[in-house]
């Protein structure tokens, strides 16, 4: 008698399911983002809802793309891993093409799509994580046993960092290297062998931060923003005042004072400070808890995939978890004055189309 429970299931018969905790955290953070983009940008343009309408349009496009991605087999994506890597380099090079690349405040990080500008490194992060996941699947044993297999992804990351530093984009460069190191560790790399490239990378990035005068000013202003409150410490001092005004429960939604032309980039890089001012300490703790839930479930799903021998899926989950957690940590750290100022937005909350 045949045991029907052991028969293979047709691929199209698998309905799939969503992790309710992960989906709930994403919806909550995205919904909060819509509210805070509206609140933080209402005084920036002649049309008070300019950034909100723009944000909602990008959100709608993002949802459509997310549905398309969810219905695409990962093995199909894995087949094009080399093309995705080439796409990473192409996206970072195209910003230097006259007519396509767009410069803002001296940095060439965007391409002009006609209706809007797009920061290409945001797409690069996704494509690079997919490529590195594929690489770790194909060379999982070699990465742990040999130098060349371990150094290749570090070399690729280094080449991408060079292009990012030419833009310049020091924050994304550091983030990309951190994602690479984290994924290699989770992929089973030999830790003693990994320590030397990590030390060299830390020394190199520290040297780059010190050599550039504007980066050095950011470091010194971060150490004491009140020493030059109207100069290099202007952003951080106003961000700290916004956080301080929030106290325990905040001044109330829409009642932030710092967003009224005092705090630069209140709807993007410093949106967390406005949130802290309006919702207070308890509100910011809730936001941090939502991010912890989101990242925790992402890593949990990655572990489940690895246990099921679906390493490609697992490594992608690890990569996205590392990306969101590190970028969130840096963004919140900058707003609270525990890290030097970086041009990194708060995932799912900050205004923008990325």
Q: For residue range 53-106, what is the model confidence (pLDDT) as tens digits?
A: 989 999 999 999 999 988 888 888 999 999 999 999 999 999 998 888 887 777
- The neighbour count for residue 271, using CB atoms within 10 Å, is 26
Residue by residue, DSSP assigns 113-132 as -SS-EEEHHHHHHHHHHHHH
10 Å Cβ neighbour count for 71? 8
Could you tell me if residue 4 is inside a domain?
A: no
Residue ranges in the chain whose pLDDT is less than 50 = 1-6, 9, 11
∠ at Cα 83 (122, 322), nearest 5°? 40
116: left (phi over 0), alpha (psi -120 to 50) or beta: beta
CA distance 290 to 215: 32
> 122-125 long-range contacts, Cβ below 8 Å, gap at least 24?
122/354, 123/87, 123/91, 123/354, 124/88, 124/91, 124/92, 124/160, 124/176, 125/172, 125/175, 125/176, 125/179, 125/323
Confidence at residue 344, expressed as pLDDT on a 0 to 100 scale: 85
The pLDDT value given to residue 13: 53
| pLDDT value of position 279 | 96
DSSP per-residue codes, 213-224: HHHHHHHHHHH-
In this structure, the number of other CB atoms found within 10 A of the CB of residue 220 comes to: 15
Dihedral angle sign, alpha carbons of residues 157, 160, 166, 167: negative
Instruction: Note down the domain range covering 34.
Output: 20-336
Residue 288 lies in a domain: yes
Q: Is residue 354 part of a domain?
A: no
Could you tell me which residues come within 8 angstroms of residue 266 by beta carbon, excluding any fewer than 6 positions away? 40, 41, 44, 256, 258, 259, 273, 274
Q: Which two tokens stand for residue 331?
A: 């963004």
Flag whether 192 is in a domain. yes
Q: Is residue 272 part of a domain?
A: yes
Residue 295 maps to a domain:
yes
In angstroms and rounded to an integer, the radius of gyration of the C-alpha atoms of the chain is 22
CA–CA dist 63, 56 (Å, integer): 10
**Rounded to two decimals, what is the model's pTM?**
0.89
Q: What is the pLDDT of residue 326?
A: 96
Q: Where are the alpha helices (DSSP H) in 16-79?
A: 20-41, 50-70, 74-79
- Answer for the pair 263, 239: CB distance below 8 angstroms, yes or no: yes
Would you state the pLDDT for residue 339?
86
Q: What is the pLDDT of residue 10?
A: 56
Q: Provide the token pair at 267.
A: 């709807």
**Beta carbons of 276 and 242 less than 8 angstroms apart:** yes
Place of tokens 């460069």: 173
15 inside domain: no
Strand pairing report for 117-119 and 101-104: unpaired
**What are 345's two structure tokens?**
């937005």
Q: Looking at the domain assignment, is residue 341 inside a domain?
A: no
The total domain count for the chain is: 1
- The C-alpha angle with vertex 226 and arms to 222 and 232, in degrees rounded to 5, equals 55
Pair of tokens at residue 65: 């793309």
Q: For 47, which DSSP code?
A: S
> What does the pLDDT read at residue 16?
66
């Amino acid at each position: 008698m045949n045991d029907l429970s052991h028969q293979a299931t047709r691929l199209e018969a698998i309905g799939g399911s969503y992790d309710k905790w992960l989906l709930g955290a994403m919806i909550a953070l995205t919904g909060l983002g819509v509210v805070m983009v509206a609140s933080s940008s209402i005084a920036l343009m002649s049309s008070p809802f300019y950034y909100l309408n723009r944000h909602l349009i990008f959100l709608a496009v993002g949802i459509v793309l997310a549905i398309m991605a969810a219905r695409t087999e990962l093995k199909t994506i894995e087949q094009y891993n080399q093309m995705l890597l080439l796409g990473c380099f192409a996206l970072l090079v195209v910003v230097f093409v006259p007519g396509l690349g767009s410069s803002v405040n001296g940095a060439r990080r965007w391409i002009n799509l006609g209706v809007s500008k797009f920061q290409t490194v945001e797409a690069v992060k996704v494509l690079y994580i997919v490529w590195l996941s594929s690489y770790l699947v194909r060379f999982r044993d070699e990465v742990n046993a040999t130098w060349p297999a371990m150094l290749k992804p570090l070399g690729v990351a280094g080449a991408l960092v060079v292009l990012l530093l030419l833009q310049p984009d020091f924050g994304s460069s550091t983030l990309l290297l951190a994602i690479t190191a984290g994924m290699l560790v989770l992929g089973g790399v030999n830790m003693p062998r990994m320590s030397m490239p990590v030390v060299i990378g830390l020394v190199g990035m520290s040297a780059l931060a010190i050599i550039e005068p504007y980066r050095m000013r950011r470091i010194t202003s971060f150490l004491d923003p009140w020493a030059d409150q109207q100069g290099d410490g202007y952003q951080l001092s106003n961000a700290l005042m916004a956080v301080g005004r929030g106290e325990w429960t905040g001044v109330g939604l829409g009642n932030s004072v710092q967003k009224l032309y005092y705090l630069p980039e209140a709807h993007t890089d410093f949106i967390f400070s406005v949130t802290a001012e309006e919702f207070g300490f308890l509100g910011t703790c809730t936001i941090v808890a939502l991010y912890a839930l989101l990242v925790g479930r992402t890593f949990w799903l990655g572990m489940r995939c690895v246990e099921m021998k679906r390493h490609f899926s697992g490594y992608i989950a690890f990569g996205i978890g590392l990306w969101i957690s590190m970028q969130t940590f840096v963004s919140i750290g900058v707003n609270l004055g525990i890290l030097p100022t970086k041009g990194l937005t708060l995932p799912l909350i900050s205004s923008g189309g990325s």
